[in-house]
Chains A and B, each alone.
Chain A
Amino acid sequence: MTKAARPFRKIFIANRGEIACRSIRPCRELGIQAVVGYSDCDALSLHVKLADEAVRLGPSPAALSYLDIDTVLRAAKDSDCDAVFPGYGFLAENPDFAEAVEKEGLVFIGPSARVMRILGDKIAARRALAASGVPVTPGIEDVSGPEEIIAFGEKVGYPIIIKASAGGGGKGMQKVYAADEVAEKLETAQSVALKAFGKSTVFVEKYIEGGRHIEFQFIADRYGNVVHLGERECSIQRRHQKLVEEAPSSLLTPEERSRVGAIVVKAMKDVGYETAGTMEFLVDASGQFFVLEVNTRIQVEHTVTEMISGFDIIRTMFRMAAGERLAMTQDEVILRGHAIQCRVNAEDPKKDFAPSFGTISFLRQVSGPFVRSESGIYQGWEIPPYYDSLLAKICSVGKDRVTAIERMRRALREFEIWGVKTTIPLLKRIMDNPKFVAGDIHTGFIEENIAGLTEYEEVEEQIFKVAKFVAQVSGLGRNIYAG
């Protein structure tokens, strides 16, 4: 498609939750109609309320609604949309979907199916990136069985990590510390891969312990212009899922940023990338970068980059996909200050992050200077058990990291959510942790400090607890304890 740029009229947002809400906003700004799909349990969800139109997709399990290509496509067509934006998760990195969308004459707001196929298959991606000069971790592909993994483990030394070839988000990743764990971990990884991504293929890499997760945001138009927007650091993770993200990383010098950024830009030019994406790296103790993967979609943590670059990434994606040219050069990208994002998930950090769903009985979102909140929730809403546990993202920005942390502490204190357990108390502990404040972090940070970080008291508002009791006595007309 090399036609002259023509703005979209109506975009179908094939997602839910905070990212769907987030994506509706630039539509509004650009005068584009926003249409969303919803599953049965999401009928009253916030994205349905915010959108201009909403279409029922199907039953609650994602496989029958948000993940069903035919259903989503029909909804987009029937509502007369001219483009589809997938957000993250669900069909976002599914090239078959991208292809199907284009075949129907709609624009898929994302890279081409061809690029997604290369970068989405971890094995193909490794090859392509290595060819462009991107450093890759030692690893083996096309794993046939445990013997091969054991041999690899002996060669590069444990720990090693087994990952699903398709998908991302850390699901099913299995860390292996010794040969006798290989068989069981392999089986789990394959099983989760099959369940989450429909393919059981896995690959194995050397696991870099104590490394830092650093990723580069880039954006490209279809005319071969690529710029990067600097890096984000996402080393604070639990079960390989990011919890706290920040930009920039306290690890990188401006020179290092330019050097790695140039590698990223070159590789993406080589592969013919279009729209926004992220290249993730693991940085070992000696400061060496190893590429993890390229995420061919918007990321949850894109917000922190926006807050220091002044650049609305999703809005830009919409415009690039409509055929506009990237209006800036690398020199014009100016990053200012420091931003932090905390993920508020419906889960209980005290119980190994077990999901916690239920009804949000009270909600007070954050506001005030230099904070931003992105969420898909409202008071009275019941969190469905079928999807991701991310409820809200809180971002803060300041002239430097310390200021951003201070503002984040303030924001976390203001945020109140009752009815479900969330990561908020853990996030507060992280913001107070001296090592975190000093920037002394790595991907094992939470695991290493979990005891101290979860040593908080659940403080449900006292008045709400007492009210619960008053409700019980009033409803029953008597106090069952006092008799």
Chain B
Amino acid sequence: MKASVRKKDPKKILKGIRDGKEICFTQTGPRDTGQSDFKNRFTLFDLRKLIPLYDGTGYFSLEVHGGARFHQDMINNMVDPFEEARIWSEGAPKSLTQTLIRSTNLWGYRMYPHNVIKLAVRSFLPTVDVWRCFDFLNYIPNMASIAEEVMSGGKIFEPSISFTESPECSDAYYLRVTDEIVDLCGGTDQIILCIKDMAGVATPSRIARLVDAILQRYPGLVIQYHRHATDGLAIPAMAAAAQAGVKLFDVTDDGFSRFYGHPPVLPLARYLKDLGFPVRLDTALAEKASEVVHGFIRHYERFESQFKGFSSDVVRHRMPGGAFPSSFEQAEKGGFLELMPHILKGMAYGNRIIKYFDVTPGSQITWTTWASIVQRLNKDGGEQAIRKLFAILERYFESGERLEALTQADENVLLRLYSGATDDLKNLLLGKYGPLPFGWPKDWVYKSAFGEDWEDRVVAERLNESPLSRLADEDLGRAREAMELDLGRPATDDEFVLYTQHPKAAIDLLRFRATYGDTTILPTPVWLNGLRAPGDAIELELAGRPHIIKLVSIGEGVGGVKHVVLSVDNIMHVFPVDLPESLASKKVVRKATPSNRGEVGTQVTGNVWRIGTKDRALKPGDHVRKGEEIMNIEVMKTENAVKAPFAGILKEIAVTMNDRVEEGQLLAVIGVETE
């Protein structure tokens, strides 16, 4: 067996690409294409089948980690991102593993201070080799901590320039951004520069010109062109980029290829070869992988986008491929799918009013803002009101963005435009993510978003420097304590990293795993739909031993519970399954929040036989001493005293005498004495 590529010096790996003639590929199926066209729902059960094939195909790297998959693994796939990274890293020793990281947001949805960045990045260094990092403002100082950790950790850093087509996004602008990147990374020998065309909008000539400009200035820079297929021009654009000197491209299997992810690898390879480029790809294995994909891809049909087909208007609305399915899903769930064309059109105008790049979190801000504007208008005045807004915006831009050119009534419409601005949008306008790449928007935008006192807010709050420099380190010890209290056991270092990214999801995932174990051993149809008909069975292997689960029967839903009978290794088990209706109507047991010391919960399931003590009946408002018995729970003839965790005032007694209480249930709330 060949030695793991992971042990190689990243500079040597990059030198090989730089000096070589071959075009190389990054396989994005498991992550970005999976996200853009299949809502990140690919199961490890299916992906595992691809690992050995990918590892032999000659891919430069496998993008298997990061972006929205990190969160969706935790909330939808019930997979630990650490485990996933390890499975790929161990299973594909000849290929580099790759993640996508959202600058200061890492894999979460908020800005992290330096100590969290350091902790989280370091924890993934052993299993992740290429770190693609982007900032939606192209504000390079935001990447500093990550660059430092990745490069000093001996891995490849791949800073991205967020690319789009607009008058401001000139070669000169991108050269400035590239200068900053090269400066930050101390040269070009341990980095790949990614041109991140996340929406898929560049024409072949545009991208060739940009690549040429960059390589003129930095001839030694390895460039990767990351381009979604949304507009339908991905393959010619990539070919043009190759001719301009790009050596690395993001692709996916033919079997995975749809519309919003990445172009299929075999047609691209064939075209590049036709143009005379040597290509590093084992075509037979790439075909084999596609065959395997064809075998399972139909299970994911329901996660594909509601709108299918290429979408040329992406060049105006610029929705990134990775955000397509989730936006359409939200629109469908929210019952406003028919408004999508208007929302996309609104986003196109929005991009011209407030200028940043539509990629996380910017794309979410644009999407939420316009989804709510269009819905509001539709509610107030139907489609007519929406069209009217677009007509006003059209006039506004025709007049050279002069509000004075509009009638008073039209001006008022615009001034109401951002009246429902979310906190995220307000923070963006106040520079809390970093300075906007092409300057602050016009004053009326502030007036619209903040109301009359907009000027005071701007003067007092708007930042022009790195927001990260103002972010104090977090108290990780305390955060971990809070986590462990909620979890009810000590957490491992990796578990704590998950918690820093998505606190609630981390706890829920760990509880899920404790209850249901490793569900990635389930075939995808069973994972998604269960066993359907009596007699249906699955054969599983656990720790080298075979097991069989067979469906015996599914009962009628009675009293909010369905009884499912399974034969597990020849033994019948009846599993009561709560129906969602009953969960909603069921009396909700209030649980004590373990991290809140004032919420006193019961450690045991039993009966409340005494509130207070023999000598002291307690009522809300009473003062209690630290350690004073406030209640007693009887279980199997034993008494279990519940004591006050600290001295304070009894704010609430959440149970009554003789109540049956279950473990963790809230018994009482104690407040700190105010005087």
Contact = CB atoms under 8 A, between A and B. Distances in A.
Interface string A370-407: 00000000010000011111000000000000000000
B603 A352 contact: yes
B613 A187 contact: yes
Contacts of B482: none
A355 B636 contact: yes
A327 interface: no
A475 B549 contact: no
Interface string B570-610: 01010101011000000000000000000000011110000
Contacts of B540: 463, 466
A475 B637 contact: no
5 contacts: A385-B605, A470-B566, A472-B577, A476-B577, A478-B529
Contact of A474 (B518, B551, B641): B551
Interface in B541-565: 542-543, 547, 549, 551, 554, 562-564
B603 A482 contact: no
A388 B636 contact: yes
A465 interface: yes
A465 B517 contact: yes
A354 B661 CA distance: 14
A482 B542 contact: no
A355 B547 CA distance: 32
Interface string A187-203: 11001100110000000
A467 B636 contact: no
A362 B549 CA distance: 15
Nearest to A172: B639
Instruction: List the 8 shortest-distance A-B pairs measured between CB atoms, nearest first.
Output: A474-B530, A475-B577, A471-B575, A465-B517, A473-B530, A469-B516, A471-B564, A354-B604
Interface string B445-475: 0000000000000000000000000000000
A462 B580 contact: no
A483 interface: yes
B604 A481 contact: no
A464 interface: yes
Contacts of B76: 481-483
Nearest to A463: B547
Contacts of B512: 481
A188 B629 CA distance: 11
Interface in B601-647: 603-606, 613-615, 634-641
Nearest to A192: B639
Given A462-B518, A467-B549, A354 B635 contact: yes
Contacts of A481: 75-78, 512
A191 B612 CA distance: 14
A126 B516 CA distance: 55
A479 B575 contact: no
B240 interface: no
A351 B531 CA distance: 36
Contacts of A477: 529-530
A463 B551 contact: no
A361 interface: yes
Contact of B636 (A195, A361, A385): A385
A311 B604 CA distance: 41
Interface of B: 41, 75-78, 512, 515-519, 521-522, 526-532, 538, 540, 542-543, 547, 549, 551, 554, 562-564, 566, 568-569, 571, 573, 575, 577, 579-580, 603-606, 613-615, 634-641, 663
A317 to B, nearest CB: 26
Given A466-B518, A467-B568, A469-B519, A474 B554 contact: yes
Contacts of B604: 351, 354-355
A474 B635 contact: no
Interface in A451-472: 460, 462-472
B573 A362 contact: yes
Contact of A470 (B530, B562, B563, B635): B530
B568 A482 contact: no
A284 to B, nearest CB: 28
Contacts of A114: none
A471 B526 CA distance: 10
Contacts of B522: 466, 469-470
A384 B557 CA distance: 26
A354 B603 contact: yes
Contacts of B528: 473, 478-479, 482
A352 B602 CA distance: 13
B640 A354 contact: yes
B635 A187 contact: no
Nearest to A364: B571
Interface in A222-281: 239
A468 B637 contact: no
Contacts of A474: 530-532, 551, 554, 564, 566
A475 B635 contact: no
Interface residues of A, number: 45
A467 B562 CA distance: 15
Contacts of B554: 474-475
A409 B625 CA distance: 46
Contacts of A473: 526-530
A201 to B, nearest CB: 16
A171 interface: yes
Contact of A463 (B542, B613, B635): B542
A438 interface: no
B444 to A, nearest CB: 40
Interface-central residue, B517, B521, B543, B551, by most chain A CB under 10 Å: B517
Contact of B519 (A460, A466, A483): A466
Contacts of B549: 463, 466-467, 470
B530 A351 contact: no
Nearest to A190: B614
Contacts of A62: 637
A196 B543 CA distance: 48
A480 interface: yes
Nearest to A191: B614
Interface-central residue, B78, B518, B571, by most chain A CB under 10 Å: B571
A355 B527 contact: no
Interface-central residue, B530, B551, B563, by most chain A CB under 10 Å: B530
B637 to A, nearest CB: 6
Nearest to A476: B577
B608 to A, nearest CB: 14
Nearest to B557: A475
B516 A465 contact: yes
Nearest to B532: A474
Given A463-B568, A467-B575, A471-B575, A171 B527 contact: no
A196 B637 contact: yes
Contact of A171 (B529, B579, B638, B640): B638
Contacts of B564: 471-472, 474-475
Contacts of A187: 613-615
B638 A355 contact: yes
Nearest to A358: B605
A83 B516 CA distance: 51
A386 B540 CA distance: 39
A306 B505 CA distance: 55
B603 to A, nearest CB: 6
Given A187-B613, A463-B540, A479 B529 contact: yes
Contacts of A195: 634, 637, 639
A187 B532 CA distance: 59
A387 to B, nearest CB: 7
A188 B515 CA distance: 37
A60 to B, nearest CB: 12
Contacts of B663: 354
Contacts of A467: 549, 566, 568, 573, 575
A476 B605 CA distance: 28
Contacts of A478: 528-530
